[in-house]
């Protein structure tokens, strides 16, 4: 699965989706993870719908997107693009979020996570 994290420093999930200047895209499966790319999303767009459309385009390769906050309109738009939005705990580290996802995959995955995992081409658990 490809997971995008809205982060200032590449270590913490500390950015509001609509204001994020950078996303870190990871390939995550039940046993491993790797950074695919750092995605810049700093284009200044004032109109809300166009800004959100641009941000979603930046992370279109993601199956799941973690951020510190996301508004209801943005959340609906992200979901409509086939990306599952997740609000991270305050000051949560990217590696901790990856570890939690992997633990869920290896233990008793929630139905939403199984759908995403299999859609992304994951092997049977």
Domains of the chain and any CATH numbers:
2-119 (3.30.420.130)
Asked if 56 and 83 touch (Cβ cutoff 8 Å), the reply is: yes
Q: Helices marked H in the chain — which ranges?
A: 48-58, 72-80, 94-106, 111-119
**C-alpha–C-alpha distance, residues 61 and 83, integer Å:** 9
Number of helices (H), then strands (E), belonging to the chain: the values are: 4, 5
Q: How many CB atoms lie within 10 A of CB 82?
A: 12
Q: Over 70: is that where the pLDDT of 78 sits?
A: yes
**C-alpha–C-alpha distance, residues 50 and 119, integer Å:** 28
**C-alpha–C-alpha distance, residues 25 and 3, integer Å:** 6
Q: How many CB atoms lie within 10 A of CB 61?
A: 13
Confidence (pTM)? 0.94
Q: Over 90: is that where the pLDDT of 41 sits?
A: no
Residue with tokens 């633990």: 103
Q: Over 80: is that where the pLDDT of 124 sits?
A: no
Residue 11 banded pLDDT, cuts 50, 70, 90? very high
Residue 125 banded pLDDT, cuts 50, 70, 90? low
């Amino acid at each position: 699965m490809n997971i995008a994290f809205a982060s200032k420093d590449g270590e913490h999930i500390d950015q509001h989706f609509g204001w994020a200047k950078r996303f870190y895209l990871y390939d995550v499966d039940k046993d491993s993870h790797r950074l695919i790319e750092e995605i810049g999303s700093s284009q200044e767009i004032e109109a809300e719908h166009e800004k959100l459309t641009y941000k979603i385009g930046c992370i279109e390769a993601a199956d799941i997107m973690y951020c510190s906050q996301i508004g209801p309109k943005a959340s609906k738009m992200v979901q409509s693009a086939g990306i599952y939005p997740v609000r991270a705990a305050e000051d949560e580290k990217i590696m901790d979020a990856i570890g939690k996802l992997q633990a869920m995959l290896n233990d008793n995955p929630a139905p939403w996570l199984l759908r995403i995992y299999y859609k992304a081409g994951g092997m049977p658990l």
